[in-house]
Amino acid sequence: MIREFAAYEKLDHTLTFEPDDLRRHLFGPEAAASVLVAEDDDGEVVGFALWFRTFSSFLGRPGIWLEDLFVREEHRGRGHGLALFRALLERTEGRFECAVLDWNEPTVRFYRDLGGEPVDGWTRYRWLPGEST
Q: Characterize the bridge pairing of strands 96-98 and 61-71.
A: parallel
3-class DSSP assignment, residue 81: helix
Which residue(s) pair with 54 in the sheet? 63
Given 51, 70, 96, 111, which residue is catalytic? 111
Confirm whether 111 is a catalytic residue. Answer: yes
CA angle 76, 7, 89 (to 5 degrees): 50
**CB atoms closer than 10 angstroms to residue 68:** 16
Cβ-defined contacts of 108-114 (< 8 Å, 24+): 110/81, 114/82, 114/85
Q: What amino acid positions are annotated as catalytic residues?
A: 111
